[in-house]
Amino acid sequence: VAGSRNPVAEVRDPDCGRPAICLAQPSRNVQGIGSFHPFRRDSHLKMAQNPDTAVAASPRLGKKLKRPFFDRSVHEVAPDLIGATLLVNGVGGVIVEVEAYHHTDPAAHSFRGPTPRNMVMFGPPGFAYVYRSYGIHWCVNFVCETEGSASAVLIRALEPTHGLAAMRRRRSVPDERALCSGPGKLCGAFGITIEHNELPLDQPPFALHARTVKPDIVAGVRIGITKAIELPWRYGLRRSKFLSKPF
């Protein structure tokens, strides 16, 4: 299923002419992103003109992730998403928490077979699976593994880095730590709805960028489920202030 949204215009810094904003590169001896702050509060960097999609003072983006990235075990993809940057129409941030769901897992929506709601999970990898939780909040998942496997990664929390003004307007929450600290919260901040279901993750309005530094990842049991509660398939960035719940 193809979708088309207006991509965010490329921002160029007038001082250096590079795309987006010229940022200082992290030290070569950085071992994880838990202690690496992407920008300084007193940075002299210039802000983009559009506050809703600004990329000023944002961390350097890695290469774009394509659909083949998701064509492997969900247990490999899930931890590899920690530290990656997810953008939707230019608004987004660094993924700090995810959960893996395999088709053999009783807690997975695909466990009992295909339905009109979960059909995208049985399709090819690299597409968005969006559903409403408890009839209230939208949640976004990334479909993984070969077609028919019906496995996916739930995006649970992010550190906002792009378009904070738009996020605050959508959620009416001033504290950036509370903007995306939960699957429903982040979808509200990003403006993700059922219209994003079945869209490819490597085409607008979605954009995924690989992490640029190695994160310190922690694993634990998943949250808010009643089946297979013992499985340690929740992954997160150790000591992140933006988690939905501490590990």
Query: pLDDT of 74-126, one tens digit each?
Result: 999 999 999 999 999 999 999 999 999 999 999 999 999 999 999 999 999 99
Contact predicate 186/155, CB 8 Å: yes
pLDDT confidence tier of residue 29, bands split at 50, 70 and 90: very low
Q: Is it true that the peptide bond before 7 is cis, omega within 30 degrees of 0?
A: no
Q: Which two tokens stand for residue 143?
A: 């479909």
> What pTM was estimated for this model as a whole?
0.77
pLDDT (tens digit, 9 = 90+) per residue, 32-85?
334 434 434 443 333 334 444 444 456 789 999 999 999 999 999 999 999 999
For the segment 3-19, the average pLDDT, to the nearest whole number, is: 41
In angstroms, the CA 96 to CA 242 distance is: 7
Burial of 14 (0-12, 13-18, 19+ CB in 10 A): exposed
Please say if the pLDDT value at position 22 is more than 50: no
Contact predicate 110/155, CB 8 Å: no
Residue type, 19: P
In angstroms, the CA 14 to CA 174 distance is: 30
Secondary structure element (H or E) that encloses residue 157, with its range: strand 151-162
In angstroms, the CA 212 to CA 206 distance is: 19
Secondary structure element (H or E) that encloses residue 78, with its range: helix 74-80
